[in-house]
Structure formats: C-alpha cells, structure tokens
Structure 1
C-alpha cells in the first residue's frame, strides 16, 4: 500500500465521488439510524422549510397527526393563511430549540402559560405564534382561550407520537425581558412595536442548542412514563439566513445552520433514539447548489425540495393510506383532499421573509 488512502473506494474522493457523480453522493450522505414504520404516528414542527416536509409526508400517506385541524367551512386554500394544515398543531414556525422547549414545558404544565400579545389596530396578535391569525383576535380573552386550547393539543401530540421530525432554523431570536419567552420574530415585524427595553437579542451557540435539545428529550421522558421515548429525527433548514446582527464578517451564509447542525450532531451522539437527516447538506452540495435555489438565491427550488424528499423516501419508503381512526377532542385524520390541494408549489408561511420587505418611511 502506497499510503493509507490508496485502497479507499472511488466515492471517497472528491473528483470521482463528488465532482463526477454528485447525485449518488447526495444519497450516500444519509445512513439512517432507525426506520419509520407504517404504524408510527408522526408529529412535525420547525422552521419554514419544515412545511415542505409536512406536505410531502401528507402526499405519501405517512401517519402524520393533525391535532388542531381547520374548522369546518374554512376553504382549503385558506388553511395555511390561518395557521392550519402546516404542522401537527397550530403552533406556526418554531425556529429554535429554545422555542420548542418553552412550548413543550407549557404544554406539560412545567412552565406557566404565557400570554404575550401585540396590538394591531383594535385586534390582538399572539406574539408566540404571530402568523396563525392574519386579522388578530378580537380580545385578549379570545387570544387566551385559543392558546389554552392550543397547548392541550400540543400536549396530545407529544404524548401520542412515535416519531418527531423537527427542522432547526435560526440561531438568532428575540427574548421578552419580563417572561424570558423566546419570540419567533421581533416585535414590529408582524405586529406591535419594537422597544429595546422590552426585548433583547440573543444568538444561541452550539452549547445552548445542545442544552435545549437535551431539555426537550428530558421533558418527553418525564411526561411519557408509560411509553418509550419517541424517535426524534432532526434536520436543519437549508434556507440561507444572513445574520441580523454584525458578528465580525459581512455575511457568513452558514452561520446559523452550522450552529444548528453542530447541536444536532451532538445530541445524536448522546441518544440512540435521535437521528439526523441532512436536508441542509443536500441542498448546499457544491455541485448541485445552483440548481437547488430559486432566482432570489434564498428559496429552495422545487428541484431542491424534490431531491431532499426523494432521498428521505428512499430510506423511509411508505405509500400506505392511513385508515386508523384517531379522532378525539383535538384529533383528526389527515384529509386526502387537503393533502392534494396543499402542494409543495405553494409559498411557505415564513415570518423571517418579512424582514426583506421595505418598510414605510
């Protein structure tokens, strides 16, 4: 042997394994730790890209819960505008693990229910899920009632699920100074007014991400004593997100994703029931990246989404129609019609994109 790399297969070298055969390389980056079975009940949550994952799981008839369904009479094309049919409950986008932990703690009664509101005209917006009600609530009492019902549905999700798929997005966030609550978007972007005395900017590093994920798993274990801890599949959003605060360089496009991926990798090493699916790595592949983004260089293209989900489905094939009855106070089966009409071509509901819009004045 000339050197220790001489007998490695062709796919282990850049020229033969990446530059010349990048499509095969994409599939090889994922080695699943566990399987998703036909009977597994799945719950999804996460940042904007997670909406693509939810839609694809619906299209392929996975056993995906929707425990906070749209009310009868709301047209299907209005579901997502009102925060329905996006995820397994009406929590909107959850960008950071810290945001996930605080929701889980509230649902399990380990943290007091927080009612944070922003005013928009004569209506009120839930600051912890600001995009679920486009017109806002008519009163604080109405907002509170909706949130209480929402937490009941989230608790039901967490107690029933066999597999939890969570897409990490941002590491940056804004935190309410009084309650400590992490917000999905800064005050003033969707509603309310920005007051630096009321909120503070935070940027979660790898250790903080890891700590939050550990806390989430611990909460699940403590509140599901009669059931095994669910399998958790983590992934990182491939959507580029330039930092909103200066961190020493003009624009490191992988800053947030690097921290999120580092925390996910760390938690995977510690827990055998946790796996990592490389959405970010597939879309950001050097050879494929120009094809995987739309003209705005931010939105993942239909080809990019298709490539990510094709990789997922090759490892977790599943075409079974879900026929089991999961009805209850907060429970519903997925509507086949809804699955068809809410296609992957629809625009994502994403608060972060509002930051790119010009402001008045």
Structure 2
C-alpha cells in the first residue's frame, strides 16, 4: 500500500515525495523520480543524427557509448587531456571555456591563449582548427556537459584561461582564481543557446551536469565543500535557464542526479570517476529515452 505523507493527509495533492531505497528499487523508479518532467516526448536521435558531446571524461563516456550502439558521434576517440576543443580537460569544463568554443565556431571570435604545462600556447587539437569548426557547425544534436565553476582569469588580457596556471607562473598581479558566479554562468548559457539557435535553428541541445567532482580547489578551503558549491551553482543555473525556455528541442538529462541518488556503488576507488557499470547503466537510461 502506498504510504501517505503528512502533507497529503492535510490535502496537499500532487506532492512528489522523496524516495527511499524501497521506492528506488521499483521498476518505475527512474521514470518516477529522475526523468519525470525531463523526458522528451519520444526518442529524438536517429542513426543519421550528427552528435557532438562537449566536455571532458564524462562526455567521452557518452560518446563511446553512442558509438558502440552505431550512432554518428564526433570526437568519440579524442583524449580530453590532448585536446582543447570539444573534448576538453576536466579542469577546463567551465562555461567561459565552453562559450569561447561556440563564439569561435559561429562568430569567428579568436580563441585567445591557453596554458599548457608551463608554457603559454595556442589551443591544441586532434585535427586542424578549421576541421574542428566544421564539426561544430555540422552538429545536429549538441550534448553540453557542465563541470565546474572555478576558473583562472587573466587580468592582463581580460579573459578566462582554458587551463590552470602552473605555480611558478602564479603572478597575482596578472592572474586570479575566480568562482564563476550564478549570473555569469546563466548569461554564458544564454549566449551558447542563442549562438546555436541562430546558426543551427533545427538542432537539438541537451545539457547535463557532470557527476565528476573537482580534482582540486585553489580557494584555500575544503575541496569537498568547494565541489558542493560548484555543482549546486551549476545545477541551479541549469534550472533557471531551462525554466525560462519553451523549446521542445532543449533538454536536460539528470546524469548527476542518477549517479548520486540512484546507484549504490557508482564510484571507482578514487571516488572521482564512475565505474564502467555505472556508465553502462546511466547511458542505457539515456538510450531508453533518447535513441530511436
């Protein structure tokens, strides 16, 4: 028999209650507690759809899964440690770096400089920059994974860097570590969305929040608390952004919520990366709702 909450007893109908383990073990738990309100009206990705997943290791997991299922996925073999475009380093997955790629691809805005190792260099790519630009322009289904809010800012050039600043180059007069604010993240998502829709009006966009925690924090406080603040900010930004839109081709997939609230043992020993079984489970759920 379904339990009745105190609020329901007092006439508050339509209450979505927090599930216990018993509820999460039910066959309909994913539909009821995770995809409810976020499901597309039907599968929207066919074998002909050009898919590009933007982000680091989690985006790589998405790409490899879709490729294995026979879907048309760009940059599926790229190592995020060796690429600064599309597949990007896990400490670069902030909205300023993501926005810069779309401004470069669709508006020809210069990428600027990045820091790699101990040298200031231009962005490195698996293919030439024009080939990467073509990939972005030819994408039909954009999967954009947000990762973190900590970023280094170059006060001299007035831009966010794409990678961390090596300790020996930590000139406080030039560089500062910033927590990208709620409003700045929200504005960046709006700009990304507008650029894609102006240039690819029929394309579909799906946002996710990476479940992968911060590798580290420069804020001088608990890295676990820093990670909580980072993820909470980005999830709140996504909620606000999606709430403002009435677009049947704009989606949110709750990968973050599934990893942290659905699976019992999702993490490898490092407590940062998810196990192959977790990837398979999460992506199978994605496939159930999105793949034709």
Please tell me the TM-score bracket, short chain as reference: 0.7 to 0.9
* Structure 1 outlier segments of 4+, above 4 Å: 5-8, 87-94, 116-120, 246-250
Where 2:73 maps in the other structure, the secondary structure is coil
Q: Which residue of 1 aligns with 2:74?
A: 65
Q: 1:270 to 1:110 in 2, by over 3 A?
A: farther
**RMSD (Å) for aligned C-alpha atoms:** 3.3
| Residues 154-211 of structure 1: CA deviation (Å, up to 9, x unaligned) | 332332211100110011111122223322331117xx73322232111112222111
Where 1:108 maps in the other structure, the secondary structure is helix
Q: Separation in 1 of the partners of 2:21 and 2:163?
A: 39
Aligned pairs for 1:3-18 (under 5 A) are 3-5=10-12, 12-14=16-18, 17-18=19-20
Verify the 8 A CA contact 1:173 1:183 in the aligned structure 2.
yes
Aligned pairs for 1:34-45 (under 5 A) are 35-38=43-46, 39-45=48-54
- Of 119, 136, 143, the residue aligned with 1:158 is 136
Aligned pairs for 1:93-242 (under 5 A) are 94-116=92-114, 120=118, 126=121, 128=123, 149-150=128-129, 152-188=130-166, 193-222=169-198, 224=199, 227-241=200-214
Verify the 8 A CA contact 1:106 1:112 in the aligned structure 2.
yes
Where 2:20 maps in the other structure, the secondary structure is helix
**TM-aligned CA deviation for residue 113 of structure 1:** 4.1
Q: Separation in 1 of the partners of 2:235 and 2:172?
A: 30
| Residues 45-78 of structure 1: CA deviation (Å, up to 9, x unaligned) | 1133211111111111222124xx9xxxxxx8xx
Verify the 8 A CA contact 2:113 2:161 in the aligned structure 1.
no
Unaligned runs of 5+ in 1: 70-75, 134-145, 319-361
Where 1:299 maps in the other structure, the secondary structure is coil
Verify the 8 A CA contact 2:99 2:191 in the aligned structure 1.
yes
Where 2:225 maps in the other structure, the secondary structure is coil
Verify the 8 A CA contact 2:57 2:80 in the aligned structure 1.
no
Where 1:49 maps in the other structure, the secondary structure is helix
Where 1:245 maps in the other structure, the secondary structure is coil
Q: Which residue of 2 aligns with 1:256?
A: 230
Count of residue pairs the alignment pairs up: 274
Q: Separation in 1 of the partners of 2:80 and 2:183?
A: 35
Q: Separation in 2 of the partners of 1:275 and 1:261?
A: 14
Select the structure with the greater relative contact order (CA < 8 A; seq sep ≥ 6): 1
Q: 1:47 to 1:27 in 2, by over 3 A?
A: farther
Verify the 8 A CA contact 2:60 2:87 in the aligned structure 1.
no
| Residues 213-244 of structure 1: CA deviation (Å, up to 9, x unaligned) | 0011222234x2xx525211000011122643
- Of 35, 40, 46, the residue aligned with 1:33 is 40
Q: 1:95 to 1:316 in 2, by over 3 A?
A: same
Q: 1:90 to 1:206 in 2, by over 3 A?
A: closer
